[in-house]
Chain A
Amino acid sequence: MKDLRLAARLAWRGVKAGEYRVLLIALMLAVACATLLGVVGDRMQGALDHEAARISGGDLVVSGRQAADQELLDYLDAQGLQWSQRVSLTSMASLDEAMLLISITAVDSQYPLLGQVRIETATGETHLAEPPLEGEVWLEPGLALRLDASLGDQIEVGDLELKFTAYLLETPDQSGGFASFSPRALVHLNSLEGSALLGPLSRARWNLGMTATSQVLDQMRSELPDRLESHQRLRDMQEDRPGVARALDEGRRYLSMAGLVAVLLASLAVALASQRQAKRQAKEVALLRCLGQSRARVRNLFLLQLFWLGLAAGLVGGLLGYAAHLGLVELLAPLLPLTLPPPSVWPLVAAVALALWLLMGFSLAPLLSLARVSPLAVLQSRPWKLSGSAALTYGLAGIATLGLGYWLSGDLLLTLWTLAGLMLIGLAVAGLGWLLLKLLMTRLQQLPWRWRQGLRRLGRNPGETLLQLSTFTLAFMAVLLVARGGDQLVGDWQAQLPEQRPSQFAVDIQPHEREDFVALLETWELEHSQLYPILRGRLTQINGEDAESQVPAASRNDNTLRRELNLTWSEQLPEGNRVESGHWWQDEVVVPEGVLPISVESGMALRLGLDLGDRLSFNLAGSRVETEIASVRDVNWESFNPNFYVIFPPQVLENHPHTFLASFAMPEDEGSFMRAISRQFPGVAFLDVRAILAQAEGILRQLSLGVQYLLGFVLLAGLLVTWALMMASLDARQREQALLKVMGAQRAKLAGRQLAEFLMLGGLAGILAALLGELLYSLLSRQLFNLLWEPAPLFWLLPPLAGGVLLAAFAHLALRSSLNEAPHRLLRRLS
């Protein structure tokens, strides 16, 4: 207890004297970044859940062919849930001569349960949290256009007559990707009462969305299934992840990576600062031992000082991280839920734990070697050489880094791979750096004096130079990677979309309309995809057994088993698809008689545990089709092309009832085109994905801003590493400068030599960082973020220049005082 207080005083004195500056700043930065990452990560996960719930129309949704009975609704009320019921169906709508097949969503008075509806009325645009009134209908602008309807018109829908009172611009459950076609017309559920639309023949789909606290939701997840009727099932919001949520998820991964890089860089700075700290404290330890302190007490005093430093850095870093998180949340505000999580002490506790963990990993080994310093060191004039166990030093650092990576990423394997990758890169840098240094050394005599001297200094101690080079390169590379990502996240995503995006999808094109439809698109000179046939079929059996019993337990509720799948046939492998295993039709595909070969999407195969050669039975409108998996395909779902889980070979299914699907770009004269196409093909339905694209783009822009924000921290951490490394060799450099000055070297010449040395070191690090960073980015962008690599010359040119200038500027700042100081004063200060 006495030593705890004494250690606090000693630590405070060290802090006041600036002794622990680099170590403390590095620790605080690491902790701040980790806290920022942790808190924002949690909130983004919350946003993802919220987004998914919003799109599904509730945290939990019960869907069925009929309305939920009163008993169930009473039960939900008793449990304190908020709920809203809606029904989706298709019907003919007409106005004067125009007639169209439309889809209608009828909602109750609680709609929308989450989010708001955006409509445009005669008085302008507005957001509402309520549904249309009874007897009214809100139409999407495209639909109004096709019906040639104006506000106030009476629209006939089935046997109803409804007043068109507003354009429906956006509903919270709109951006559901391609799986859920958004409602074109919104009406109140009461309007449908007694109408034939909900008659026994209707193919209406009822959804009962509900929200509640997470506790109640958990209870409902386990209790509700027993209360449902056979036609009903419980859907979890995480099924059917919408495209927008996917973009958000990718962005979150990028943010995590940027944060992780910042934390790792700051940890590297902690390690460097700890090493220097231990070297500087060797004489202090010797003095304490000389003053009669036992080895154990000296060790304890230093351990306790570390504890206090960790505690302080953890608390301050944690608070800074929390404050920084508010900044990031402000930037990402439109993406995140509005309610702040209640303030909790846990992030602070975690921050302190992290600070102590980092100190344990990076400072403990130097400290233990410090305790071995002999008291005789005080009688010696030369600096004491610390002899630590390399196994302990690297072992503890390795454990700390692994633990840190696992804590931040939650994935041990990924962490191991990342560390192995970093080590490989470090070795590659050292190897390449050595080659480059050798190459430069052969040109030594042709260089001017300053450069020659600077290069000689680098070449004199290749071990130290290569260590510095590797560290600088890793730091530069990390900054580059994050900067490149932030800059390109939006750019690359846009670049992979075709110039003329197929923003419209047309479905339900009948076989006899096929040629005329293509002809119309050609007349309007529109970019369009091929026409894909669509058949609806349900997967019933796998290898002769009930499908559900053959899949992994986690996939029993998979959508591919629960609903009818959109199947197609195609002679060619569709664009954006790649055969992962097996063969496409052109190659030899041998299957038994009466069995059709099929190609399955890799995600579905993985979820359902399917492999090449597995037999799948489908029910296609009552007839059974036997198939065998001939190939597994990787599909780029972000391509905004029509994509399918299951593809059949051409011709074999032509006798089964089918329609066609196509995507095309909208012409400038949207109105005339839509009127023309609706007149000619009244049964064809259209989906406009421009709103979804715009929404995804908006999200990416904001995420990109978030990455830029974190880039600030990565940059700071990179600068800190540079500073820590510079400080590590500062004493030796200053001593050398003083001696050279004593021997008559002029200040200008010394400054020139120093400039040349650091310009070269920084330049080399920049070149290597650009080279390896670009290589890594091209790999990462494809593997982790589904982006296509695009060359960016700025990122190749900038690093060598910036690296050289940055290091030279740092060296100037660090060594300025010793350059100007009288040599005898400098030598005295250093001794």
Chain B
Amino acid sequence: MTSDSSHSTAIKDRLSQKLLEAKSLGYKVAQQTGDLTILRDLNFQIQRGETLALLGPSGAGKSTLLALLAGLDTPTEGELLWSGQNFSSLGEDERAAVRAREVGFIFQSFQLLPELTALENVLLPLELRGDKDAEEQALLWLEKVGLSPRASHHPSQLSGGEQQRVAIARAFATRPAVLFADEPTGNLDAENGHKIADLLFSLNQDQGSSDQQMTLILVTHDQQLASRCQRILRLDAGQLFADEQTGAAQ
């Protein structure tokens, strides 16, 4: 593909709201006993504004796929196009720049910085972006997740559910176009898990109504959580064996 044609594809993709496209995507890890294939020949597209779940059992390759989709790593085979642009052709810092502009994260193990308070954790990405009203925004998001009274608490003083709510506030605070959530309820009990899922989807909906629709890409092994997304990609042993629309409302 020439640079001209790739440029025109990018424009077309943006117009058609195509966010991601995987073409024969594969990922292998070199080992002493030979190559270990984690992902094999994946082909799919993700539209902007979709809510999508990557569903599969442990070891299916979900987290690796999430890392590739977010540009945290590059595929060893095939291509991954982000808004029509090949991710593999970008350097690590260029991919980081894409993340800084468009991506938010929620992790299974929360990944809050232990030495920072709840407020400071939410502040961090806003400050990195150089937002002038960072503190007001962070407080607003803490309020939205119901934790403003605990703004000055450190993660070790919060329960698991509360820590994940802080992480959600941090992820939403920068109003990312795409939100990746890696097993967001995986470390929580059922009740807390439900609450977190409700919060995640309701905030996602709020965002949708107030701004351009946010894309949510969720990694989970929980069928119930996955079914709250509009679409499910089922993975097993590194292969995609189902691409289903759930009919869930957005």
Q: B residues near A, CB below 8 A?
A: 63, 66-67, 70, 72-73, 92-93, 96-101, 103, 105, 107, 109, 111, 113-116, 120, 124-125, 127-128, 130, 154, 156, 160, 182
A375 touches B125 (CB 8 A): no
Query: What separation, in Å, do the CA atoms of A14 and B120 have in the docked complex?
Result: 11
Residues of chain A within 8 A (CB-CB) of B115 are: 13-14, 17-19
Query: What separation, in Å, do the CA atoms of A9 and B182 have in the docked complex?
Result: 30
Query: What separation, in Å, do the CA atoms of A19 and B114 have in the docked complex?
Result: 9
Query: What separation, in Å, do the CA atoms of A288 and B113 have in the docked complex?
Result: 10
A6 touches B109 (CB 8 A): no
B113 touches A287 (CB 8 A): yes
Give the interface segment out of A293-301, A559-567, A710-718: A293-301
A-B Cβ contacts below 8 A, count: 70
Of the candidates B70, B111, B130, the one whose C-beta lies within 8 Å of that of A287 is: B111
Query: What separation, in Å, do the CA atoms of A831 and B163 have in the docked complex?
Result: 13
CB of B172, distance to nearest CB on chain A (Å): 13
Residues of chain A within 8 A (CB-CB) of B125 are: 291
B67 touches A288 (CB 8 A): no
A13 touches B128 (CB 8 A): no
Of the candidates A284, A289, A381, the one whose C-beta lies within 8 Å of that of B113 is: A284
B111 touches A296 (CB 8 A): no
Query: What separation, in Å, do the CA atoms of A2 and B120 have in the docked complex?
Result: 18
Number of A residues near B (Cβ < 8 Å) is 29
CB of B168, distance to nearest CB on chain A (Å): 14
Of the candidates B93, B97, B116, B128, the one whose C-beta lies within 8 Å of that of A17 is: B116
CB of B118, distance to nearest CB on chain A (Å): 13
Cβ-based interface call for A583 (8 A): no
Given the known A-B contacts A294-B93, A376-B73, are A829 and B99 also in contact in the complex, defined by CB atoms under 8 Å?
no
Nearest residue, chain A, Cβ from B105: A290
The 3 closest A-B pairs by CB, nearest first: A292-B100, A292-B99, A17-B115
Query: What separation, in Å, do the CA atoms of A375 and B97 have in the docked complex?
Result: 13
Cβ-based interface call for A794 (8 A): no
Cβ-based interface call for A699 (8 A): no
Residues of chain A within 8 A (CB-CB) of B63 are: 379
B109 touches A291 (CB 8 A): no
Q: A residues near B, CB below 8 A?
A: 2, 6, 9, 13-14, 17-19, 283-284, 287-296, 374-376, 378-379, 381, 828-829, 831
Residues of chain A within 8 A (CB-CB) of B66 are: 379
Given the known A-B contacts A13-B116, A378-B107, A379-B107, are A289 and B154 also in contact in the complex, defined by CB atoms under 8 Å?
no
Q: List 5 A-B contacts (CB under 8 A).
A: A6-B128, A17-B154, A292-B98, A296-B93, A379-B67
Given the known A-B contacts A6-B127, A13-B115, A379-B182, are A292 and B154 also in contact in the complex, defined by CB atoms under 8 Å?
no
CB of B124, distance to nearest CB on chain A (Å): 8
A294 touches B96 (CB 8 A): yes
B72 touches A293 (CB 8 A): no
CB of B72, distance to nearest CB on chain A (Å): 5
Nearest residue, chain B, Cβ from A287: B111
Given the known A-B contacts A9-B127, A14-B115, are A292 and B109 also in contact in the complex, defined by CB atoms under 8 Å?
no
Residues of chain B within 8 A (CB-CB) of A2 are: 130
A290 touches B93 (CB 8 A): no
A293 touches B100 (CB 8 A): yes
A381 touches B128 (CB 8 A): no
Residues of chain B within 8 A (CB-CB) of A18 are: 115
Residues of chain B within 8 A (CB-CB) of A295 are: 92-93, 96
A294 touches B97 (CB 8 A): yes
Nearest residue, chain B, Cβ from A296: B93
CB of B133, distance to nearest CB on chain A (Å): 15
Of the candidates B96, B98, B107, B114, the one whose C-beta lies within 8 Å of that of A293 is: B96
B156 touches A375 (CB 8 A): no
Query: What separation, in Å, do the CA atoms of A295 and B100 have in the docked complex?
Result: 13
CB of B191, distance to nearest CB on chain A (Å): 18
Nearest residue, chain B, Cβ from A381: B109
Nearest residue, chain A, Cβ from B112: A287
B72 touches A290 (CB 8 A): yes
Residues of chain A within 8 A (CB-CB) of B154 are: 17
Residues of chain B within 8 A (CB-CB) of A292 are: 96-101, 103
Query: What separation, in Å, do the CA atoms of A18 and B116 have in the docked complex?
Result: 10
CB of A669, distance to nearest CB on chain B (Å): 78
Query: What separation, in Å, do the CA atoms of A18 and B114 have in the docked complex?
Result: 11
Query: For A9, A13, A375, A379, which residue has the most chain B Cβ atoms within 10 angstroms?
Result: A379
CB of A9, distance to nearest CB on chain B (Å): 7
Residues of chain A within 8 A (CB-CB) of B73 are: 374, 376
Residues of chain A within 8 A (CB-CB) of B130 are: 2, 6
CB of A410, distance to nearest CB on chain B (Å): 41
Query: For B70, B116, B128, which residue has the most chain A Cβ atoms within 10 angstroms?
Result: B128
Residues of chain B within 8 A (CB-CB) of A283 are: 111, 113
Query: What separation, in Å, do the CA atoms of A296 and B96 have in the docked complex?
Result: 11
Query: What separation, in Å, do the CA atoms of A6 and B131 have in the docked complex?
Result: 11
Of the candidates B72, B97, B113, B120, the one whose C-beta lies within 8 Å of that of A379 is: B72
Residues of chain B within 8 A (CB-CB) of A378 are: 105, 107, 111
CB of B121, distance to nearest CB on chain A (Å): 10
Query: What separation, in Å, do the CA atoms of A292 and B97 have in the docked complex?
Result: 5
Query: What separation, in Å, do the CA atoms of A500 and B31 have in the docked complex?
Result: 82
Query: What separation, in Å, do the CA atoms of A283 and B110 have in the docked complex?
Result: 12
Residues of chain A within 8 A (CB-CB) of B124 are: 291
Residues of chain A within 8 A (CB-CB) of B98 are: 292
B105 touches A829 (CB 8 A): no
Given the known A-B contacts A295-B93, A376-B67, are A13 and B111 also in contact in the complex, defined by CB atoms under 8 Å?
no
